[in-house]
Structure 1
Amino acid sequence: MSYTNSPQVYLASTGPIQPVHVLIQQAHLPVHVPVQQAQMPAWNMDTGASSHLTDNTGILTSFSNSSMYPSVFVGNGHSIPVTHTGHSFLHTSSKPLQLNHILVTPHIIKNLISVRQFTHDNDVSVEFDAYDFSVKDYQTRWLILRCDSTGDLYPVTQQPSSQTPIVLLSFSSTTWHRRPGHLGDDVLRRLESRNLISCRKSKLSALCHACQLGKHAKLPFYNFESSVDSVFEIIHSDIWTSPIPSESGIKYYAIFLDHFSHFVWVYPLHKKSDLFDNFVAFRAYVNKQFNVDIKALQCDHGGEYDNTRFHDLFCQNGIQFWFSCPRTSQQNGKSERMLRTINNLIRTLLFQAHIPPSYWVEALNMAAHLLNILPSTAINNEIPFTKLYNQTPTYEHLCVF
């Protein structure tokens, strides 16, 4: 689009218009229209218009039979004449928004508000999204006007002027957090979205010391990631007790989870004391199949782990023993999360197959196999089988449980 030195206005979005001659009106005295008689205009927000445009003077509060812009260039390259210049405003519940220097041209199809001129004259910002647009005070970020948009344009839905002015002071999010009794962020956002409070958001969210002291039952646990470079450097283990014995009398199962590959092995147990023999068998399997030895075992402080047989075995073979503190299952988080994942899958398989809960051991083996050949978020969506064996698993053998 090219600009000339002659005073003209450019418009980006209008409908098809036939070419007309440019008319320059002679200046006359301004005509003022009482506010009560002004019609409610159907305005549309337009980011491509350089001036406000309307097709008649009936929606203006005041107008003049002259204009410094004799014509308007529209999107198809044609020009349409400007007959008057006027002023109006938009009613809101808090304050009127000025519409200055409105150009009247009878050939315009939609009444358009120039976003650029509107924000400059009222010191506001306009935010658009897929459902509506909002007008906010530029300094305080206080919401002044919100209009829904269900069509192709952004129409302005005017709010009737209130007899009693409503003033909502804008405070910081920290102040509004404290005022109603230390609200959570989600509740604060709901109140603000309903325009019940005006919240000036701060760039940095402050940590509330009073909330920490008054609401927390215990100190938080911080994430700790052990760094390993190969398989079987750290094995996580835990035991789960089933509320229902299996068909073969199994009441427990133990897991051994490799930290590096996230591959899991499951061992059904009749008694918790069987754990030691199963660990010895698992260690022998690792030595024979992968030609490495387990370097460390991470587990809770249960008696099935913390006993003389385990301590003697680890001391003789140089295996490290890492216990979590009493009543702090969070320190054995990998094992706890794997148990929860396995149990969720066991229940799902049993419900899907309409099998009694006493067949949970059969579902346990299936669940472990599926988890080992599927991507895991714990290792950035890599596949445990691939990380352990350096091979891609196949899925043709899978059947519905």
Structure 2
Amino acid sequence: MFRRGILGVVPCGLPSAFSTMANRDPTWNMDTGASSHLNSHTSNLNIVYNKCLYPSVCVGDGKFIPVTNTGHSILPTLNHPLHLHNVLVTSNIIKNLISVRQFIRDNNCTVEFDAFGFSVKDFLTRHILLRCDSSGDLYPVTSPSPTPHALLSVSLSTWHQRLGYPEEEVLRSFVSRQFISCNKDKSSHVCHTCQLGKHVRLPFSSSNSIVSRSFEIVHSDIWTSPIVSSGGFKYYVLFLDHYSHYLWIYPLRAKSKMFQKFLHFRSYVNNQFKSDISAFQCDHEVSDPHWRDAMYDEYNALIKNGTWILVSKPPNVIGQYL
């Protein structure tokens, strides 16, 4: 039953002497090598059975010691009790042992050891259920160490930010199911991030621009899609005529193709409307003077080399009246 453990093996001639000891240490000790919980006396258990799951257990030196009873015990905590199932009772053991493997399976928790003690945490929420400090060679289960008040002062608004801004009903459900711990009253603070996320559009300043004909001012912007379309398009460049509010949308596979689409759009305006773009306003990379200068240099080179031609409306242009 044991691979190794913190066991004191009693010589064959002395089991009766150990059973007469009046002062037995009732302290439990965490043991990562024990395969079952072991206790030296039935008085340390909440429920005791006369039957034995196993007649004996094997200790670290290869010897077997007898098991007299089986029972259950409970470790009280500030949150909820932790259970010790199927504890084997044997008077030949000096230290009461908790099998860490059996303990975490029965209580759906984790046990984390450090140089100053150990912490028992809920497996799902990572909330500390029990903290025991230790300064010796073993990890005894002592009285729960007080948790700093700052760790307990968690409000719903704090959880709202930590969990990615869910609705209040979701947070209330987590609290009722003990997935999270909250001991502060509901905060009346309005979440600024949620308010911005619900805006249809961001506020913008009033424009003083006045136009009298189409294409006197054309506005442009590039939208990045969160997913790639079936045709491989991830970006979309928009051209909006300030006068008519007519919109053209060009799909792009890369942002570097924006200049080519601008040339297509300008050709389309010259060919279909017998007009030209007087002013071009944008918020993306074209506003960079270096990028804009390079774009005009390339455009002038096309004109100079005679490679510029007017084309008909591209088939992948979508027009929509706003």
Coarse TM-score class (shorter-chain normalised): 0.3 to 0.5
Q: Which has the higher contact order (CA 8 A, sep 6+)?
A: 2
TM-score, normalising length: structure 1: 0.34
TM-score, normalising length: structure 2: 0.42
